Chain A
């Protein structure tokens, strides 16, 4: 099992550009999440999905969009990149909401200049 795979690992964007962070998992988990991690701050939930075709906003959704057409894939779209979106982005998945056992990818470091 590869677990949760994120691409790209690193990316530099110019202000106003758009891009998609890819996330795929091979554990057949229904729940998938996107978090961002900023220096000196705790992880913050951007969007989550409870299954294919179902997504919802987390704590910090502004400037982002997601889709979930399959169980495996949960891409995160950044529209009109801004410097405030410079961060490390983590995709995660889980088989249960209650256990708190999230499986994280290795992260995508995004810099917006």
Chain B
């Protein structure tokens, strides 16, 4: 059975303090790994798709990377507006049309 584990569950950073969020996965035949951002009371918002090990994607202060076992979401010099829950999801040969979501990392960036 596919498994997606995100760590840490919660992270508090000072503005400007760079860090990384982790998403480790065990799947049969990875077809894609996806990162989403979710603000309180809102639906998830798509950030990145990664398809193969070694691939990297960037958007503003965010950079997503992928290995054969895990993905990292690096946040460089974060700002308070980066505070949100970040969700990782995978699509595999086992999952049909479903994306298998992790439980998320809740990020708080303080001024």
Does the CB pair A104–B4 fall under 8 Å? no
Does the CB pair B97–A58 fall under 8 Å? yes
With A43-B44, A106-B41, A107-B42 known to touch, is A100 a contact of B89 (CB < 8 Å)?
yes
With A42-B103, A100-B34 known to touch, is A106 a contact of B43 (CB < 8 Å)?
yes
Q: In the complex, how many angstroms separate the beta carbon of A43 from the nearest chain B beta carbon?
A: 4
Asked if A45 is at the interface of the complex by the 8 Å CB criterion, the answer is: yes
Q: In the complex, how many angstroms separate the beta carbon of A60 from the nearest chain B beta carbon?
A: 10
Q: In the complex, how many angstroms separate the beta carbon of A94 from the nearest chain B beta carbon?
A: 9
Q: For chain B, what secondary structure do more than half of its interface residues adopt (helix, strand, loop), or is it mixed?
A: strand
Quick one: which of A12-57 are within 8 Å of B by CB? 31, 33, 40-45, 48, 50, 56
Does the CB pair A104–B32 fall under 8 Å? no
Q: In the complex, how many angstroms separate the beta carbon of B3 from the nearest chain A beta carbon?
A: 10
Q: In the complex, how many angstroms separate the beta carbon of A101 from the nearest chain B beta carbon?
A: 5
Complex Cα gap A44–B42 (Å): 16
**Residues on A with beta carbons closer than 8 Å to the beta carbon of B46:** 100-103
Q: Which of A41, A58, A103, A106 contacts B98 (CB 8 A)?
A: A58
Nearest residue in A to B42 (C-beta to C-beta)?
A106
Nearest residue in A to B45 (C-beta to C-beta)?
A104
Quick one: which of B1-37 are within 8 Å of A by CB? 4, 31-34
Q: In the complex, how many angstroms separate the beta carbon of B59 from the nearest chain A beta carbon?
A: 13
**Residues on B with beta carbons closer than 8 Å to the beta carbon of A92:** 43
Does the CB pair B32–A33 fall under 8 Å? no
Does the CB pair B41–A43 fall under 8 Å? no
What residues make up the interface of B, taking CB atoms closer than 8 Å to A? 4, 31-34, 41-46, 49, 87, 89, 91, 96-104
What residues make up the interface of A, taking CB atoms closer than 8 Å to B? 4, 31, 33, 40-45, 48, 50, 56, 58-59, 90, 92, 97-107
